[in-house]
Amino acid sequence: MNPSDTLTVDFDAGPDKEGPTSWAQLKTFHRRARYPHDRYSSFLTHAAELPVATSRSGVAGAVAALLVAHESLRTVYADDGRRQHVSGKGVLTLAVHDVPDDEEARERVVESLTHKPFDFAREFPLRAAVLAPGGRPARLVVVYSHIAVDGEGLRIVIEDLHNALAGRGEHGGSEAAQPLELGLEQQSPAWQERNAAALRHWDKAMERVPQSMLAVPVAATGGDADRYVCGVLESRAVAEALPVIAARTRASTSAVMLAATAAVLAHRAGLPRCALTAIAANRNTPGTARYVGTISQDALILLTPGDGTFDALVRRAWAGSLAAYQHSQVHPLELWDRMEKAGSRRGIRFARDCVFNDRSVPGGVEVGDQAAPGEGSTIRVDRATFMPVRFFLRVVRTDGTAEIALWCDTRYLPEPDLRAFLTGMERLLVAAAKEEVPLGRLEEISGVVPVPRGPQWQRIAASLVDVDAVRGLVEAVARGHGSAVFVTEAADPDGGELVAYVDASGTSLTPQALHLACMAALPGFDGAIAPTRYVLCDGAPRDTADEAAWLSVPVTSTGDGRALAPASETGE
Average pLDDT over residues 118-133: 96
The predicted structure's pLDDT at residue 174: 56
Assess whether pLDDT exceeds 80 at residue 171.
no
Residue 566: band (very low, low, confident or very high) from pLDDT cuts 50, 70, 90: very low
Residue 300: band (very low, low, confident or very high) from pLDDT cuts 50, 70, 90: very high
Average pLDDT over residues 528-554: 96
Q: Which residues of 422-455 are buried (b: 16+ CB within 10 A; e: fewer)?
A: bbbbbbbbbbbbeeebebeebeebbebeebeeee
Provide the percentage of residues in the chain whose pLDDT is more than 90.
85
Q: Are 399 and 363 in contact (CB under 8 A)?
A: yes
The predicted structure's pLDDT at residue 492: 66
- The residues with which 399 forms a beta bridge, in sequence order, are none
Residue 426 CB partners (closer than 8 Å, separation 6+) = 233, 235, 237, 238, 373, 374, 377
The predicted structure's pLDDT at residue 365: 43
The predicted structure's pLDDT at residue 491: 61
The predicted structure's pLDDT at residue 144: 97
Residue 436 CB partners (closer than 8 Å, separation 6+) = 309, 310, 311
The predicted structure's pLDDT at residue 39: 83
- For 438, which DSSP code? B
Q: How many CB atoms lie within 10 A of CB 543?
A: 11
Residues in the chain: 572
pTM above 0.75, yes or no: yes
- Give the helix ranges, DSSP H, for 166-235: 179-185, 189-206
Q: What is the pLDDT of residues 224-265, one digit of tens each?
A: 778 999 999 999 999 999 999 999 999 999 999 999 999 999
The predicted structure's pLDDT at residue 41: 83
**What are the angstrom distances between the C-alpha of 256 and each of 170, 238, 249, 253, 368?**
37, 11, 9, 5, 20
Measured over the CA atoms of residue 252, residue 253, residue 256 and residue 261, the dihedral's sign is negative
Domains defined along the chain, listed by start: 5-183 (3.30.559.10), 189-446 (3.30.559.30), 457-570 (3.30.300.30)
Residue 567: band (very low, low, confident or very high) from pLDDT cuts 50, 70, 90: very low
Maximum Cα interatomic distance, the chain, rounded to a whole number of Å: 88
